[in-house]
Every structure is written in C-alpha cells, then in structure tokens.
C-alpha cells in the first residue's frame, strides 16, 4: 500500500450502532490516499465486530484492554499514524464525501497553517438534522490568530480538525487527565506555541448529539473546572508572558463568576490571584479557606490546589534532569555587600531568620566588616560565629547560595558557576537593577541564563512585569512577594506610647527618612520635602519637620525654617520606636529614574513601611502605579511630586486632626498585616528550603 497522506483516528467505545456509518464515510471520501487507525477502548457492545466487518487494508484496529479512556486510546492510535496530516472523528460522527479533499487541498496550498477545521451539520441520534447550540457556536466566522478569541471558548469541533503531523509531534498527545476538553487543551498548546488555525466555512462534518455522548451530558461547571486547569498550565503563563492583563482579568473573572456567583468581588480578586501562575499565592491556603470557605466547593478547591500533572506525551521521550555534580552538606550560604551593618534592618531581620532556622553561614564583603561585626555581635551574640568576612579565595561550601540585589548576585556569579552551586536571589529595586538599561539588562541575562539559577523573588509589580514582558525569566521561576522584610515584631514589641496631633499635642510633626544617594537627595524627594516645609511653615508655626539620614542644614538652605526643622543623622533600628511615637506623618516624594536611568525605589519605601508599622500616616508617591495593597485616602495617601499639591493635601489633614489620626490607625493595621512574618518570611523560607 502507498504511504498514506492522511491518517484518521477513531476512538471506539460502545458505539457499535454508529461506528459503521463513521467508517463508511471514510470509504466514501472523494480523496482516497488515507489510512484509518481505530483504537477500541474495551467496548462491551458489538463495536469490534462492526469494525472487523470492513475488509479494507487501509483500516487497522488496536484493542485497549482494560478500558483506559478516550485520550489514551487516541494516543495509542496516534503512535501508528504515518500520514502527513492527522485527524480524528468520534465514533458517532461522520464526514461529508468531499471533507478530506477540501481540507487536504487547502493545507497543501497553505503550508503555514497547522490546524484546519470545518463547519458542522448537527444531527440527532437517528441522523436528522437539528439546529443545536454546538452548530450555532462552531459555524461562526472567527479569526483564530488573535489570542483574544481563545480565552475561555473553544471554536473548533474535534471531529472536523485536520492537523499537520509535524506540528502535532511537537505538541505531543492528548492529556488523559482531561475528560471534557482534551482537544481544547491541544488547541491551546498549539496556539501558545504560535501555530496557525483556520476553520473552513463549509459544513463538511456531521456532528451527532444524543443521550449517551459526552457533549450532550456535559456539566458546564465541570467543563469550566477543566478549563481552570488549562488556564493554570497553559493559557495563564502565556498571557503573562505576552503581557495581556486585560485577558487575564477577563478570563479569571469569568471563572470566578461561574464557580462562585454569589461571592463578593474581593473573593473574586483573590480567586484571580490564586489561579494565576504566580507562586506567591499558593502559600496562602489556610487564610483563603478560612475567609472564603463558605463559598468554596471542596471538589473545586482540591482540583485547583493539586499540582498540574504533565501532559502525557507518548510521542516524546522525556530526558530526566541530570543529577547535581556536587555532594555537599545541606547548608545555605548568604553573600552580601552591606551586612552586618545593623542600619540595614531588612537584611538583619531576614538573615537572622535564616540563621535561627537553617544550617546557614553569611559572608560579607563590606569594606568595614570588622567595625560592623562588633556592633552586630553585641546585639546578636548567638549568630556572631556564623557571620564572616568574605575573602577572594572563598569556597562556597554549601548546597545553595542566596543573595539580595542584582549587584551582589552578578558579582558572585563567576564563583557560583565555578563551584557549581545552585542559587536563588531577591531582586529588589536598586542594587544596579534598572529598567531599560543596557548594563542592567546584560547582568539580568547572565544571571537568569546561568545553569545554576533556580528561583528569583521579586517584590514589585513593575519588576515582575519587566522580567516577564522582556522574556528575561520564565514565570514559573519567579516568586512574587510584594513588599520587603522589616523588623515588624521588634517594632510592635518596643512600640512607645504615641503622642497624636490634636489629642496629645498641638504640633503636627512631619518626618523625612532616607539616606542620601544624589545631590540634594532628588531621588528620595528631599528637595521637594524642603519646598513643602517652607510652604507649610508660612501657614502655621505649629508644623514641625524632622529629617533622619545623612542630610544637614548645608544640603539645601533651610534658614527660613529656623528651629522648626531638626536633623538627626543616620540612625539604627533601635532609634525609631521612640522617634515615630512623636511623628504624625512621613512624607516621601521620591521619584524613579533620578539616581540613574531606569533606577527606582520599592513601594512603599522601606522608611515609609517602618513608619506605617509604627502608626505614622504615610504620604508617598507612586509614579510607577505599583500600589496594589493600600487604599488611597483610607490607609495611605498617594501624592504627586508637586510641592503645592502636597502642601494642600497636608493642610486638609491639618485642619481635620481626627481624620489624620484615623488614616494613621488604619494604615498601621494594614502595614502590620502585610509585613508580618507570615506574609514576608515564611514564603521566602519555603523557597530556600526547596533547593537546599
């Protein structure tokens, strides 16, 4: 027999009353260079006898015993397909005589097309034409190139589709875990791999609906449950990679509405976050159940929570990952340029957390290491022996390296790769990470393309979007944990009694807290702070200003402020509980891209977060629109960089002290919630212990 150009698969199961018509429609095709590969899935009726009654060398039969399901039957049949094109037809459907001739001609003329479907003729059990919902949906003109037309809905009927086998080979077989939409899964996998689809506008396939077929008895919620699985494994990561937040929101809200129509909008937002491919949200199982359990179907929850099983690829051999070439003690090695300077409170809090819980050592290449180590050792004697100076010939005698900031990670990369030790890092804003900067981009590419890179923790939406949109890092290797690590428990434990404007004192105390990195501190907005101070001091002498950081009276002329402004210099964590107890408002008019092109701060800044934890009202800019967690005007006040606008907003609160006090209290509760150990440190610990 000649090598067939077309291979057609039939998955047979208890359709003896229909399959004869299906096979006969193949014999009646005007195009005859085909083979028919049938896999019977252990039918209990006369299906096998009907199949064997056809005597044609182009028909082959394989029997699957015991019953393993339609997708496995398809995959087994596919192993025997030899054609340039592959299609399938359900055992209760059949083809119009010119169906294959028209599809083959089209695909031969259009080598760029990978999948070709047709319109359908919907019929009932006895073969009478009916106008059903499937025909209404499939027989419509859709441009199947835009991903917009693939979110949620399937526009192709499986029995109509002819696939270029070379394309099918790239994608693998059907997923046996899916019972209602394994074909939709295959289409989606093709679409996210940039394959081309066409649905010919001719009714060339007879599609039968009756009481016993899957499409007739489909539970729509169950179908959407399987689509939720497809979203997590295929569609969601693709929409994230091509930066389509509009389609992500549309798709997730549709799912949430289907599963939980009575649930409040915040639940649907949380559902969106959970179902997205962001690893962060998988750490919040218990709060999710506790808060929204009454809306939750246990079966749905278990389905969504399980780890996505890989698609069964019977056509491809999966090569196991090589075993590590090193055998070392289970130890975390942290390398840093600034630690153990206790002023860097977020490092102290995070690194001490690991020292307390893990076999961990810290190496510092701070040039003033000895001076800072002595102060650190006095405060934390239990950890001092595991904090050491980094030396050039250092051996990384551990099983995982961890760093914070791009600069530290890139600096250590050569040593990491020479010693073949895997690494994770936190990509904070700053530390030589800049948006759209060639040098920063080069370092990102080197780091993310290292064979020893495992996971990156990002803390800002802008960072996440930048990595994904520019294809620096696969989304599955990014852990999104908004915010940063702060000594929240220390502040709560050592919080001094607050003195509140309008209740305990007549002065409104406004502070600015930052280190100086640029002349006039323009990146942190110090110049704007002074302009605002001068404007406010003209209105009322009871407004006072406080500056913590390496700024002084010589930086900018503050003579007109007289003794209404106080400078404190840089201060350690222990200074702030008492300091913030007397502050009413922290002002942070910081601006991105001032320190260097593409450079930006975290949101809110570390100083704002610590002030908020301590009960100070936070007024800050959000130029990059990163605010996802705080309600503007209720828990925080978002300002513009304009000094006049800032002064007007502050005066509104000066005239209503009780409004300012309420803002500070609500903000404090929110800052403490978001920056708790549960939210900040435990997810990080899980990332590291996964790879140690």
Q: Tell me how far apart the alpha carbons of residues 8 and 81 are, in angstroms, rounded to a whole number.
A: 8
- CATH topology (fold) of 332-485+680-691: Rossmann fold (3.40.50)
**Portions of the chain given CATH number 3.90.550.10:** 6-218
Instruction: Confirm if 222 and 238 have CB atoms less than 8 A apart.
Output: no
What local confidence, expressed as pLDDT, does residue 63 receive? 93
Q: Tell me how far apart the alpha carbons of residues 606 and 584 are, in angstroms, rounded to a whole number.
A: 17
Q: pLDDT tens digits, residue range 528-585?
A: 999 999 999 988 888 999 999 999 999 999 999 999 999 999 998 889 999 999 999 9
> In percent, how much of the chain has pLDDT > 90?
58
pLDDT level of residue 253 (50, 70, 90 thresholds):
confident
Instruction: Confirm if 468 and 241 have CB atoms less than 8 A apart.
Output: yes
Instruction: Confirm if 384 and 677 have CB atoms less than 8 A apart.
Output: no
Q: pLDDT tens digits, residue range 104-123?
A: 999 999 999 999 999 999 99
- CATH topology (fold) of 6-218: Spore Coat Polysaccharide Biosynthesis Protein SpsA; Chain A (3.90.550)
Average pLDDT over residues 220-239: 77
What local confidence, expressed as pLDDT, does residue 596 receive? 80
In sequence order, the 6+-apart residues with CB closer than 8 A to the CB of 264 are none
Q: Are strands 34-40 and 543-548 parallel, antiparallel or unpaired?
A: unpaired
Which of 226, 681, 690, 658 is closest to 476 using CA atoms? 690
Tokens 């929240």 belong to 488
> In degrees rounded to 5, what are phi and psi of residue 407?
-60, -45
Helix (H, G, I), strand (E, B) or coil at 424: strand
Q: pLDDT tens digits, residue range 64-90?
A: 988 888 999 999 999 999 999 999 999
What local confidence, expressed as pLDDT, does residue 65 receive? 87
Q: DSSP letters of 239-258?
A: HHHTT-HHHHHHHHHHHHHH
Q: pLDDT tens digits, residue range 596-645?
A: 888 878 788 889 999 999 999 999 999 888 787 899 999 999 999 999 99
In sequence order, the 6+-apart residues with CB closer than 8 A to the CB of 516 are 524, 526, 549, 550, 551, 555
Q: Rounded to a whole number, what is the distance in angstroms from the first to the last CA of the chain?
A: 58
What local confidence, expressed as pLDDT, does residue 572 receive? 85
**Portions of the chain given CATH number 3.40.50.2000:** 332-485+680-691, 488-674
Tokens 């179902």 belong to 275
In sequence order, the 6+-apart residues with CB closer than 8 A to the CB of 624 are 460, 462, 592, 600, 603
Q: Which CATH superfamily is domain 488-674 in?
A: Glycogen Phosphorylase B; (3.40.50.2000)
What local confidence, expressed as pLDDT, does residue 116 receive? 97
Neighbours of 443 (CB within 10 A): 20
pTM of the model: 0.48
What local confidence, expressed as pLDDT, does residue 262 receive? 58
């Amino acid at each position: 027999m000649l090598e067939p150009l077309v291979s057609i698969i039939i998955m047979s199961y208890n359709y003896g009353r229909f399959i004869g018509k299906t096979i006969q429609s193949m014999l009646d095709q005007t195009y005859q260079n085909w083979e028919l590969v049938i896999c019977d899935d252990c039918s209990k009726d006369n299906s096998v006898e009907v199949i064997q009654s056809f005597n044609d060398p182009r028909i082959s039969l394989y029997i699957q015993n015991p019953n393993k399901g339609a997708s496995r039957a398809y995959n087994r049949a596919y192993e025997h397909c030899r054609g340039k094109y592959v299609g399938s037809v359900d055992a209760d459907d059949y083809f119009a005589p010119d169906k294959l001739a028209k599809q083959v001609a089209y695909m031969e003329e259009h080598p760029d097309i990978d999948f070709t479907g047709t319109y359908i003729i919907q019929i009932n059990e006895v073969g009478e034409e009916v106008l059903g919902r499937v025909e209404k949906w499939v027989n419509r003109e859709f441009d199947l190139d835009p991903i917009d037309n693939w979110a949620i809905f399937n526009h192709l009927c499986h029995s109509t589709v002819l696939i270029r086998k070379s394309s099918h080979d790239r994608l693998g077989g059907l997923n046996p875990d899916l019972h209602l939409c394994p074909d939709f899964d295959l289409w989606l996998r093709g679409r996210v791999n940039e394959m081309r689809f066409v649905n010919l506008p001719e009714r060339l396939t007879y599609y039968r609906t009756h009481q016993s077929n899957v499409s007739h008895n489909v539970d729509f919620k169950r179908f959407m449950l399987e689509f939720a699985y497809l979203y997590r494994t295929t569609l969601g990561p693709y929409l994230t990679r091509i930066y389509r937040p509009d389609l992500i929101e549309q798709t997730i809200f549709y799912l949430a509405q289907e599963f939980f129509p009575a649930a409040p909008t915040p639940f649907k937002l949380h559902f969106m976050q959970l179902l997205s491919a962001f690893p962060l949200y998988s750490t919040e199982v218990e709060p999710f159940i506790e808060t929204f359990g009454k809306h939750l179907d246990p079966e749905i929850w278990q389905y969504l929570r399980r780890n996505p099983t890989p698609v069964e690829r019977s056509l491809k051999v999966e090569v196991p990952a090589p075993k590590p070439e090193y055998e070392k003690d289970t130890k975390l090695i942290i390398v840093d340029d600034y630690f153990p300077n206790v002023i860097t409170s977020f490092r102290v809090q995070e690194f001490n957390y690991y020292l307390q819980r893990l076999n961990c050592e810290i190496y510092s290449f701070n040039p003033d290491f000895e001076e800072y180590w002595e102060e650190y050792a006095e405060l934390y004697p239990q950890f001092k022996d595991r904090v050491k100076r980094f030396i050039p010939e250092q051996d990384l005698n551990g099983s995982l390296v961890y760093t914070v900031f791009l600069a530290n990670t890139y600096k250590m990369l050569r040593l990491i790769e020479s010693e073949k030790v895997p690494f994770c890092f936190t990509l904070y804003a700053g530390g030589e990470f800049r948006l759209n900067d060639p040098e920063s981009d080069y370092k990102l590419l080197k780091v993310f393309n290292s064979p020893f890179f495992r996971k990156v923790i990002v803390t800002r939406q802008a960072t996440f979007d930048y990595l994904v949109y520019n294809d620096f890092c696969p989304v599955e290797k990014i852990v999104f944990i908004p915010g940063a690590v702060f000594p929240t428990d220390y502040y709560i434990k050592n919080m001094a009694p607050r003195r509140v404007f309008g209740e305990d004192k007549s002065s409104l105390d406004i502070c600015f807290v930052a280190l100086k990195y640029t002349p006039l501190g323009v990146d942190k907005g110090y110049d704007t702070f002074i302009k605002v101070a001068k404007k406010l001091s003209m209105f009322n002498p009871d407004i006072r200003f406080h500056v913590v950081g390496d700024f002084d009276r010589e930086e900018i002329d503050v003579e007109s402020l007289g003794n209404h402004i106080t400078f404190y210099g840089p201060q350690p964590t222990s200074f702030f509980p008492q300091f913030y107890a007397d502050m009413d408002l922290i002002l942070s008019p910081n601006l991105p891209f001032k320190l260097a092109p593409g450079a930006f701060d975290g949101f809110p800044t570390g100083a704002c977060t610590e002030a908020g934890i301590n009960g100070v009202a936070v007024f800050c800019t959000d130029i990059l629109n990163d605010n996802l967690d705080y309600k503007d005007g209720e828990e925080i006040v978002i300002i513009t960089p304009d000094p006049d606008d800032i002064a007007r907003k502050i005066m509104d609160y000066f005239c209503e002290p009780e409004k300012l006090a309420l803002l500070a209290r609500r903000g404090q509760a929110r800052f403490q919630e978001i920056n708790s150990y549960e939210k900040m440190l435990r997810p990080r610990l899980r990332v590291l212990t996964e790879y140690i």
